Structure 1
């Protein structure tokens, strides 16, 4: 039982910082308590990506119709 609790404590000590980094999309072995990444920059990046994907999806969806209209 003693080995179980030692393993549990060591596992928590190792897994906690890895989980924080994973949640923040940072490299796993970086410092989890370093300066926070700017939230506004992350939102802008993700919004730009989402807009590009949406434009491509709309373009792909309307392509057959525009091809028929051009003929």
Structure 2
């Protein structure tokens, strides 16, 4: 029983930082307590991606009309 509890404690000690890193979507063996990337940088990156996706969708949606106007 003593070995079981020692294994349980060691497993918790190892799995806790790995779980934090997995939740943050960072490499598993990195420092789980390191500072997060700046929230403004993350928002800028995601909005830039969203704008590009939106531009592509609008371009694809209006392509048939533009082709008709060229004829």
The runs of at least 4 consecutive aligned structure 1 residues that moved more than 4 Å come to 1-8
In structure 2, the gaps of 5 or more residues are: none
Structure number with larger C-alpha Rg: 2
* TM-score (normalizing by structure 2): 0.76
Distance 2:49 2:29 in 1: 27
Aligned length: 71
1:1-58 CA-partner distances (Å, limit 9, x unpaired): 6666555444433332122212222211100001221111011101101110111111
Please provide the CA RMSD for this pair.
Answer: 2.0
Using structure 1 for the length normalisation, give the TM-score.
0.76
5+ unaligned residues in a row in structure 1: which ranges? none
